[in-house]
Amino acid sequence: MATRPLSRCVFSAASSKHLRSVVPRVAAFHSTPVGLNSSPPKDDQSSSEPVTHFGFQTVKESLKASKVAEVFSSVASSYDTMNDVMSFGIHRLWKDHFVRSLDPGRRPGGQPMSILDVAGGTGDIAFRMLDHSEKVNSDRETTVLCADINADMLKEGEKRAIQNGYDSNRISFRAENAETLESIPDNSIDLYTISFGIRNVTRIPMALKSAHRVLKPGGVFACLEFSKVSPAPLDAIYQQYSFSVIPLMGQLVAGDRDSYQYLVESIKRFPSQTEFARMIKDAGLVNVGKGYEELTFGVASIWKGVKPLD
């Protein structure tokens, strides 16, 4: 899919009042809603243990993963519906474009691909990968491993794989921490994808280093994630919508305001497009082009990096 229809014209296809946000992957716990103009709460950190952010909260590093896992368990069966309601289906277009831009599948004379979809949960990206490899590249052997830290999300994905008739020899689900990927061998993966999940990782640089480790030389890292909106007047509207409307819709549709409050806070805290591209480079991967492609005025972006051959 060409960049033009998604980078700028998806926004014009849906009216500006419709496309202010999307909720594709993950929500997590936040005990007290924080307004757009509120200062992030400063928690009392009496111990010397390293801390990190959890939305606008400051928490011990050792607690963040469990908080994210806890929330995924609570939203596993409902967050996809929320995605559609909140984005008017636009997140599907982003994901379709993401997969088409990667063109997964065996090339003529080549071998089937080994794909790792991290934070793959319900299989949303994995199913698209398999469909594309078969329909576009006539490849019925490429495999996808969905890795997620949360067992409930993985169960949802397994259930959907069975319901939709996907070959169990081509798709599998495994509990993994993105920071370590302990069961994934070095230099074993052709394509590593992570969609709307990396901002929930406690130590993002560690996750990027693990991505570099498991990729084969010449393998591709690809991330689809929320990013920074431009120009500034549009971003102001987007922020107001995000903090005012998204938590309310979370309450109405999913019965979970706190999780979606965390969603908008985590987006606000995520690095800018250029900053994250630099982090990918620092992990040892080579940026593709300028490192990222903006979608819909930067509401989301795609980052790509390649593991050097030497």
In a domain, 44, yes or no: no
Q: Is 167 annotated as a binding residue?
A: no
Cα(213)–Cα(217) distance, rounded to whole angstroms?
A: 10
CB 200 within 8 A of CB 194: no
Question: Where do the H-state alpha helices sit in 270-305?
Answer: 273-282
**pLDDT value at residue 8:** 40
In a domain, 109, yes or no: yes
**pLDDT value at residue 265:** 87
User: In this structure, what DSSP letter does residue 23 have?
Assistant: -
Alpha carbons within 13 angstroms on the beta-carbon side of residue 303 total 26
**Comparing 40 with 125, which gets the higher pLDDT?**
125
**pLDDT value at residue 246:** 85
Average pLDDT, the chain: 81
Least confident of 46-60, 173-187, 260-274: 46-60
**Comparing 47 with 97, which gets the higher pLDDT?**
97
Mean pLDDT along residues 19-45? 39
In a domain, 51, yes or no: no
R_g of the chain computed on alpha carbons: 19
For 191-229, the three-class secondary structure string (H helix, E strand, C coil) is EEEEECCHHHCCCHHHHHHHHHHHEEEEEEEEEEEECCC
**pLDDT value at residue 64:** 57
In this structure, the number of other CB atoms found within 10 A of the CB of residue 117 comes to: 28
**Comparing 290 with 26, which gets the higher pLDDT?**
290
pLDDT at 139 over 80: yes
**pLDDT value at residue 114:** 98
Mean pLDDT along residues 294-302? 96
Cα(308)–Cα(81) distance, rounded to whole angstroms?
A: 39
How does residue 252 score in pLDDT terms, banded at 50, 70 and 90?
A: confident
Residue 194, domain CATH = 3.40.50.150
**Comparing 140 with 82, which gets the higher pLDDT?**
140
Nearby residues of 302 by Cβ (< 8 Å), 6 or more positions away: 97, 98, 101, 222, 223, 224, 292, 293, 295
CB 156 within 8 A of CB 124: no
147's enclosing H/E stretch is strand 143-148
**pLDDT value at residue 68:** 63
How does residue 124 score in pLDDT terms, banded at 50, 70 and 90?
A: very high
Mean pLDDT along residues 100-107? 96
CB 105 within 8 A of CB 114: no
Q: Is 202 annotated as a binding residue?
A: no
Cα(58)–Cα(61) distance, rounded to whole angstroms?
A: 9
**pLDDT value at residue 121:** 84
- Domain containing 137 equals 69-307
Q: Is 148 annotated as a binding residue?
A: yes
Q: Is 122 annotated as a binding residue?
A: yes
**pLDDT value at residue 169:** 96
Mean pLDDT along residues 147-156? 90
Condensed to tens digits (0 to 9), the pLDDT of residues 188-223 reads: 999 999 999 999 898 999 999 999 999 999 999 999
In a domain, 115, yes or no: yes
Condensed to tens digits (0 to 9), the pLDDT of residues 44-62 reads: 444 577 655 444 445 565 5
**pLDDT value at residue 42:** 46
CA–CA distance from 149 to each of 72, 119, 121, 190 (Å)?
9, 7, 8, 21
In a domain, 99, yes or no: yes
- How much of the chain exceeds pLDDT 90, in percent? 56
**Comparing 65 with 195, which gets the higher pLDDT?**
195
Mean pLDDT along residues 20-28? 36
In a domain, 186, yes or no: yes
In a domain, 148, yes or no: yes
Q: Is 177 annotated as a binding residue?
A: yes
Mean pLDDT along residues 167-194? 97
**pLDDT value at residue 47:** 56
CB 95 within 8 A of CB 126: no
Structural domains in the chain (count): 1
Write out the DSSP string of 228-274.
--SSHHHHHHHHHHHHHHHHHHIIIIIS-HHHHHHHHHHHHHSPPHH
**pLDDT value at residue 108:** 85
In a domain, 236, yes or no: yes
**pLDDT value at residue 16:** 38
pLDDT at 263 over 90: no
